């Protein structure tokens, strides 16, 4: 029976240090340790770029897909000007999730108290708040998340300091340059 390790990262490092001919399964803790999950969130999922699909699946203004990255609800969409954007999918009023799954929306309407946001994340209307003299909707915009398109793939990243996708994947781009990946479409998978 495999032994438990006090430090799952050290155990994984030990595993990967052996020659290929002596390779073993990963230590159990990679799948069960909260410390390992926390380390993955901190060093991988909050730092790196993640692909959320093909840009042509978000071809029209208002097309959106929602996802979670490192426990952060995010919506990726095509805005009114035709640009791809990613932003927080959490309402600035009482933190309700705004959009679910994928679809098309002219505006983003919170299902809880109907605060409404433009496709660039700016607050457009907040029912009942007009009675509050101190409230100014111009002060509310959904926090934006980095979003880049690379060869037709859409990537998002929570780290403002991460190098651009094209820079990080420049070696991959050279390897696959004969495949015209930019011309792939979502129907390719059907
Ligand atoms: S939580 Fe969104 S409008 Fe209240």
Mutate which of 73, 88, 94, 116 for ligand 1? The one with the most ligand atoms within 8 Å of its CB, which is 94
Number of domains making up the chain:
2
Q: What is the reported pLDDT for 5? A: 64
Half-sphere exposure of 183 (CA within 13 A, CB side): 5
pLDDT band at 4 (very low <50, low <70, confident <90, very high): low
Q: Which of 20-34, 42-56, 146-160 has the lowest mean pLDDT?
A: 20-34
Is residue 25 a part of any domain in this protein? yes
Q: Which atom of ligand 1 is nearest to the CA of 126?
A: 3
Q: Is the pLDDT at 189 greater than 50, yes or no?
A: no
168 and 84 in a common domain: yes
Which helix H or strand E contains 129, and what residues bound it? none
97 and 21 in a common domain: no
Distance 158 CA to ligand 1 centre (A): 24
Q: What is the pLDDT of residues 72-109, one digit of tens each?
A: 999 999 999 999 999 999 999 999 999 999 999 999 99
Looking up residue 125, the CATH number of its domain turns out to be 2.102.10.10
Structure-block tokens of residue 3: 């032994």
Is residue 96 a part of any domain in this protein? yes
113 and 28 in a common domain: no
Q: What is the reported pLDDT for 32? A: 92
Task: Give me the domain span that covers residue 38.
Answer: 8-45
Q: Is the pLDDT at 7 greater than 90, yes or no?
A: no
Does residue 151 come out as left (phi exceeding 0), alpha (psi in the -120 to 50 range) or beta? Answer: left
Q: Which of 2-11, 86-95, 128-137 has the lowest mean pLDDT?
A: 2-11
* Burial status of residue 127 (CB atoms within 10 A of its CB: 0-12, 13-18, 19 or more): exposed
Residue listed under structure tokens 């000007």:
81
Distance 125 CA to ligand 1 centre (A): 11
Calculate the average pLDDT of the chain: 92
169 and 118 in a common domain: yes
Q: Is the pLDDT at 1 greater than 60, yes or no?
A: no
113 and 88 in a common domain: yes
| Residue 165 to residue 43: CA distance in whole angstroms | 17
Mutate which of 88, 96, 111, 125 for ligand 1? The one with the most ligand atoms within 8 Å of its CB, which is 96
32 and 76 in a common domain: no
Is residue 3 a part of any domain in this protein? no
Q: Is 72 in the pocket of ligand 1 (CB under 6 A)?
A: no
Q: What is the reported pLDDT for 131? A: 86
Is residue 2 a part of any domain in this protein? no
101 and 39 in a common domain: no
pLDDT band at 8 (very low <50, low <70, confident <90, very high): confident
133 and 97 in a common domain: yes
């Amino acid at each position: 029976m495999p032994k438990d390790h006090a430090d799952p990262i050290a155990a994984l490092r030990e595993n990967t240090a052996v020659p290929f001919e002596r390779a073993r399964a990963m230590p159990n803790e990679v799948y069960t340790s909260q410390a390992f999950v926390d380390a993955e969130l901190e060093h991988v999922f909050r730092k790196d770029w993640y692909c959320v699909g093909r840009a042509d699946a978000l071809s029209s203004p208002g097309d959106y897909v929602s996802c979670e990255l490192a426990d952060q609800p995010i919506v990726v969409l095509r805005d009114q000007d035709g640009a791809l954007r990613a932003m927080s999918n959490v309402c600035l009023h009482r933190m309700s999730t705004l959009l679910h799954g994928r679809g098309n929306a002219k505006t983003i309407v919170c299902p809880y108290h109907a605060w409404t946001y433009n496709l660039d994340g700016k607050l457009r209307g907040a029912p009942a708040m007009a009675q509050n003299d101190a409230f100014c909707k111009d002060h509310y915009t959904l926090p934006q998340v980095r979003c880049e398109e690379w060869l037709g793939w859409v990537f998002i990243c929570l780290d403002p300091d991460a190098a651009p996708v094209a820079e990080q994947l420049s070696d991959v781009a050279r390897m696959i340059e004969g495949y015209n990946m930019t011309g792939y479409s979502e129907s390719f998978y059907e």
